[in-house]
Amino acid sequence: MEKSKKEKKDIGAELGKLEKIVQWFEAQDQVDVEEGLLKVKEGAELIKDLKQKIKKVENEFEEIKKDLSEDSE
């Protein structure tokens, strides 16, 4: 269970970082191309990592669901 709490905290932190990148773009009148590219790369890495973490959490939920189904039979 402790690992799931850490995963949830990590997911929340990474979503926060992604939100800050979005806010940065929204606050720009004119985006500096080089800085914008760095932000896009950072965002892409965050999204890739988040997809993996979310998939892992989904798998954990499926295992719990499976265990509960087996217990009720």
What pLDDT score was predicted for residue 4?
A: 61
Give me the domain span that covers residue 20. 2-72
This prediction's pTM: 0.76
Q: pLDDT (tens digit, 9 = 90+) per residue, 25-40?
A: 999 999 899 999 999 9
- What DSSP designation does 55 have? H
Q: What is the mean pLDDT of residues 5-12?
A: 77
Residue 29's φ and ψ, nearest 5 degrees, are -75, -45
Q: What is the amino acid identity at position 73?
A: E
Per the model's pLDDT, the better-predicted residue between 2 and 16 turns out to be 16
Q: pLDDT (tens digit, 9 = 90+) per residue, 33-62?
A: 999 999 999 999 999 999 999 999 999 999
Give the total number of structural domains in the chain. 1
